[in-house]
């Protein structure tokens, strides 16, 4: 009976692992938009990333410690004992190593360490861990998993931080292992197949009560199953968090451009009409009229660059393009939006947190701030020719470039919009509220938060988002402004997984009457024109050179 129960647990473990393979494979192919949704998830649900991996690691390490103790006091079958120790130690290490990627705050570290001591002290004093786990209900299983995940996450993060600090200080000359490049490989198909084999070996060993899910009843298994599914998904989202953090770390470490004395990036603070201060940047080069080696400053062509939602002015996807424009003789002005990049205030994690707190007002600020940024650029009369001004934007920046305020501004001679949204409200309605289950849950959560904080309905939120979109722009331009066919240029990738091609590009093209000659469409490249960067930059430069 005990053996049959053990085999049943192992079968459940295999089913869980197979489900992990299927879900992960699907998620990798689906290109889940993790980075766009991390800011609201990280703060409250970051620990759930570990719900799929940490409990298993803790279980195996718990077994390892018990077996080591048994070995000290004597164990009947030495080879069996040695195999069990090595097996559980290896599996536990594999799972725990996967838990080093998302770091909480210092306050959270202290809190979770206290949780570790209190939680496990109470558990071990009241009853053995095995007996405790066997009595778990679904709710308690989830709570136990969460607590264990938080605790283990803190410990491993601290150890990993010490390791990285030793690397940076030079005390550790030879890198042991670097998690950054291997991040996306945590749940690769190969890794899961290896875990399959290990689980099968565990089944062969038939070590009673210590299988992959041997501690848990069916209730506990269901609780962990739900946690595992959420953990796999959020681990993929954490991958995007990691990538986003790396961009900012590289920027703070000075790894971004410029890397040559012929290119200069100056910093200026921009004050908005409501008193908000944003971080601005000015790119010039030796070929710019107002560049570092210019003997006499004189006005020249200028570009206002607008980055995407969740990005920042030094985003590595586009900063090489800005540097190229500067090297070609243009003066490039860029800035970080509210809640973004270097414009963030202490405690502001990113624009998604901003949406949760300000709702559609944040998007309205994005658009109005662009007009103020344009005025900031034109205030540099010594290096900017007011008759040779272009606005270049991508994603949210493309929406802003085509929004009513910028589109109808007579000071803007050329508008280049890449992967631009047509109607922000419609995209939220169809792509978020009416999208996949995960996106619907996110949209539902977002709507509840905004309604509770700002007392506005979902319909009002959608309406206000649409009002500042290109769809609301009037195609009847004031006198003196050339028609769209002469001043608007659109670029997009057909496989864009964030800003749908049909829902946005085709509608923008039709509404503004943009001819094919003014459009650049790639079959692939997703949302960041992957592998199309050089062609895109050359096309944009050509259009600017012809008209500025």
- pLDDT at position 49: 41
Please say if the pLDDT value at position 254 is more than 80.
Answer: no
Strand partners, 488: 415
Please say if the pLDDT value at position 173 is more than 90.
Answer: no
Peptide bond into 287 cis (omega under 30): no
Please say if the pLDDT value at position 115 is more than 70.
Answer: no
Please say if the pLDDT value at position 1 is more than 60.
Answer: no
Q: Looking at per-residue confidence, does 56 or 305 come out higher?
A: 305
Give per-residue pLDDT as tens, 460-507: 989 999 999 999 987 777 777 888 888 999 999 999 988 999 999 999
* Cα–Cα nearest to 276, from 200, 355, 338, 350: 338
Please say if the pLDDT value at position 36 is more than 50.
Answer: no
Please say if the pLDDT value at position 526 is more than 80.
Answer: yes
Please say if the pLDDT value at position 269 is more than 60.
Answer: yes
Percent with pLDDT over 90 in the chain: 29
Please say if the pLDDT value at position 330 is more than 80.
Answer: yes
Give per-residue pLDDT as tens, 119-145: 444 444 444 444 444 444 334 444 444
Would you identify the CATH topology of the domain 260-423+484-547? Rossmann fold (3.40.50)
- pLDDT at position 287: 79
Domain assignments of the chain as residue spans, ordered by start:
2-249, 260-423+484-547
Lowest mean pLDDT among 163-167, 211-215, 387-391, 464-468: 211-215
- pLDDT at position 59: 52
Highest mean pLDDT among 34-48, 182-196, 532-546: 532-546
| C-alpha 240: how far from chain center | 4
Helix (H) or strand (E) holding 267: strand 263-271
One-letter-per-residue 3-state SS of 96-126? HHCCCCCCCCHHHHHHHHHHHHHHHHHHHHH
- pLDDT at position 488: 96
Q: Looking at per-residue confidence, does 89 or 265 come out higher?
A: 265
Please say if the pLDDT value at position 365 is more than 60.
Answer: yes
- pLDDT at position 160: 55
Mean pLDDT over each residue of the chain, to the nearest integer: 68
Query: By three-state DSSP, how is residue 212 classified?
Result: coil
Contact between 329 and 300 (Cβ < 8 Å): yes
Lowest mean pLDDT among 224-228, 333-337, 407-411: 224-228
* Cα–Cα nearest to 289, from 277, 280, 302: 302
* pLDDT grade for 69, boundaries at 50, 70 and 90: low
Please say if the pLDDT value at position 146 is more than 80.
Answer: no
Lowest mean pLDDT among 122-131, 203-212, 301-310, 345-354: 203-212
The residue-averaged pLDDT of 425-442 equals 72
Lowest mean pLDDT among 162-166, 233-237, 290-294: 233-237
Please say if the pLDDT value at position 237 is more than 50.
Answer: no
- pLDDT at position 246: 55
* Cα–Cα nearest to 466, from 360, 334, 354, 380: 360
- pLDDT at position 432: 73
| C-alpha 380: how far from chain center | 35
- pLDDT at position 437: 56
Please say if the pLDDT value at position 66 is more than 90.
Answer: no
Lowest mean pLDDT among 91-95, 108-112, 261-265, 300-304: 108-112
Lowest mean pLDDT among 160-174, 206-220, 253-267: 206-220
- pLDDT at position 256: 59
Q: Which tokens sit at 413?
A: 């001679």
- pLDDT at position 378: 96
Q: Give Rg (Cα) of the chain.
A: 28
Give the list of residues 6+ apart from residue 351 with CB closer than 8 angstroms, or none: 39, 309, 310, 337, 338, 339, 340, 362
Strand partners, 283: 265, 332
Contact between 470 and 420 (Cβ < 8 Å): yes
- pLDDT at position 436: 57
The residue-averaged pLDDT of 319-340 equals 91
The residue-averaged pLDDT of 149-156 equals 49
- pLDDT at position 83: 61
Phi and psi angles of residue 85, each rounded to the nearest 5 degrees, phi first: -60, -50
Please say if the pLDDT value at position 413 is more than 50.
Answer: yes
């Amino acid at each position: 009976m005990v053996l049959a129960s053990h085999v049943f647990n192992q079968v459940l473990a295999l089913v869980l692992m197979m489900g992990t393979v299927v879900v992960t494979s699907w998620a990798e192919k689906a290109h889940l938009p993790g980075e766009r949704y991390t800011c609201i998830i990280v703060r409250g649900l970051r620990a759930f990333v570990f719900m799929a991996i940490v409990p298993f690691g803790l279980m195996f390490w718990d077994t390892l410690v018990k077996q080591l103790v048994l070995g000290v006091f004597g164990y009947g079958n030495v080879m069996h004992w040695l195999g069990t120790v090595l097996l559980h130690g290896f599996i536990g290490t594999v799972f725990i190593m996967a838990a080093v990627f998302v770091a909480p705050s210092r306050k959270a570290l202290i809190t979770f360490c206290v949780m570790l001591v209190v939680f496990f002290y109470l558990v071990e004093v009241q009853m053995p861990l095995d007996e405790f786990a066997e009595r778990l209900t679904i709710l308690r299983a989830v709570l136990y998993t969460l607590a264990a995940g938080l605790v283990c996450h803190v410990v491993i993060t601290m150890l990993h931080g010490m390791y990285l600090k030793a690397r940076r200080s030079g005390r550790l000359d030879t890198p042991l292992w670097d998690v950054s490049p291997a991040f996306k490989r945590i749940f690769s198909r190969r890794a899961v197949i290896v875990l399959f084999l290990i689980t099968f070996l565990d089944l062969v060993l038939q070590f009673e009560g210590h299988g992959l899910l041997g501690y848990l009843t069916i209730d506990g298994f269901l609780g962990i199953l739900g946690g595992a599914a959420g953990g796999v998904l959020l681990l993929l989202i954490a991958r995007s968090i990691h990538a986003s953090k790396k961009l900012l770390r590289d920027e703070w470490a000075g790894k971004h451009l410029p890397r040559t004395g012929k290119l200069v990036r100056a910093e200026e603070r921009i004050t908005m009409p409501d008193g908000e201060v944003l971080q601005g940047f000015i790119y010039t080069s030796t070929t710019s009229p107002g560049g570092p080696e210019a003997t006499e400053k004189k006005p020249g062509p200028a570009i206002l660059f607008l980055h995407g939602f969740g990005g920042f002015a030094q985003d590595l996807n586009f900063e090489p393009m800005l540097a190229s424009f500067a090297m070609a003789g243009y003066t490039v002005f860029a800035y970080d939006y509210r809640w973004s990049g270097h414009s963030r205030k202490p405690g502001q994690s990113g624009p998604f947190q901003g949406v949760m707190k300000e709702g559609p007002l944040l998007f309205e600020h994005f658009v109005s701030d662009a007009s103020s940024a344009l005025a900031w650029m034109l205030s540099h009369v010594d290096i900017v020719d007011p008759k040779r001004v272009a606005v270049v934007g991508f994603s949210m920046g493309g929406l802003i470039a085509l929004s009513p305020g910028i589109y109808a501004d007579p000071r803007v001679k050329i508008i280049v919009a890449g992967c631009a949204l047509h109607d922000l409200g419609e995209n939220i309605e169809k792509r978020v509220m009416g999208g996949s289950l995960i996106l619907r849950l996110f949209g539902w959560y977002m709507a509840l938060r905004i309604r509770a904080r700002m007392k506005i309905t979902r319909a009002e939120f959608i309406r206000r988002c649409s009002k500042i979109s290109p769809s609301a722009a009037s195609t009847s331009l004031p006198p003196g402004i050339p028609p769209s066919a002469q001043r608007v240029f659109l670029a997009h990738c057909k496989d864009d997984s964030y800003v749908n091609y049909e829902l946005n590009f085709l509608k923008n093209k039709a509404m503004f009457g943009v001819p094919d000659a003014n459009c650049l469409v790639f079959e692939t490249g997703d949302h960041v024109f992957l592998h199309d960067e050089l062609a895109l930059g050359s096309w944009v430069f050509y259009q600017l050179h012809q008209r500025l």
